[in-house]
Amino acid sequence: MAKTHKKVVVLPCSGIGKVYGALARETTYELVEKVRPGLATTTCLPLLVINDPEAVALVRENPVITIDGCPKDCAKKSVEAVGGNLAKTYEAIKFYKEHKDLKPEGIAEVNEIGRKLAQVAAAEVAQEIDKLAAGEET
């Protein structure tokens, strides 16, 4: 029988100087606060970098979805480095490529259009969260 999950971890990259890093974070916050509160959760990516026991346990015991802001894939690689349960990976630019009418701008935080794109992205990622929570393959 497939294993169901009460939590699905969504981890954005920490990108401090790139619009798609900001989009990754906004999408994550949208999921955690509005779209799947209680089911979607996140943690600070740097906690994995310093091997924080609680953060490492969280990503080992629950399925993890990463959203990276650039091809260096820091979020994905950080989860892999601690033996996390990586279930699905995204690069945030994918969402813009599929919705070219919503071009995000901003570095530390995205602009209003970026927020709309994050809502669209969160709706897509939420479907994967639901599958993982139900124990389905993504």
Partner 1 sequence: MDIQVQKVGVVSCSGEEIPEGTLCRLACRKVLDERPGETVTICLPLFIAGGEEERTFAANYPTITVDGCDKMCAAKATEMLSGKPAKTLLIPEILKRHGLAPPDKLRHFGPEEEAAVKAVAEEIAQAVDEVLEEE
Residues forming contacts to partner 1 in the complex (CB under 8 A) are: 11-17, 21, 25-26, 28-29, 33, 42-50, 52, 72-75, 77-78, 81, 107-109
Query: What letter does residue 109 receive in the DSSP assignment?
Result: S
**Least spacing, CB of residue 107 vs partner 1, in Å:** 6
Judged by CB, which is closer to partner 1: 22, or 133? 22
Nearer to partner 1, 49 or 131 (CB): 49
Residue 101 and residue 113: Cα distance in Å, rounded? 9
Structure tokens at 135: 């124990």
Measured from the CB of residue 52, what is the shortest distance to partner 1 in angstroms?
7
Q: Which is nearer to partner 1, 63 or 69 (CB)?
A: 69
Which helix (H) or strand (E) is 65 found in, with range? strand 64-68
* CB 113 to partner 1: min, Å: 14
CB of 76 within 8 A of CB of 84?
A: no
Size (the chain), residues: 138
CB 13, min distance to partner 1, A: 7
One DSSP character per residue, 7-57 reads -EEEEE---SS-HHHHHHHHHHHHIIIIISBTTEE---HHHHHTT-HHHHH
| 35 or 131: CB nearest partner 1 | 35
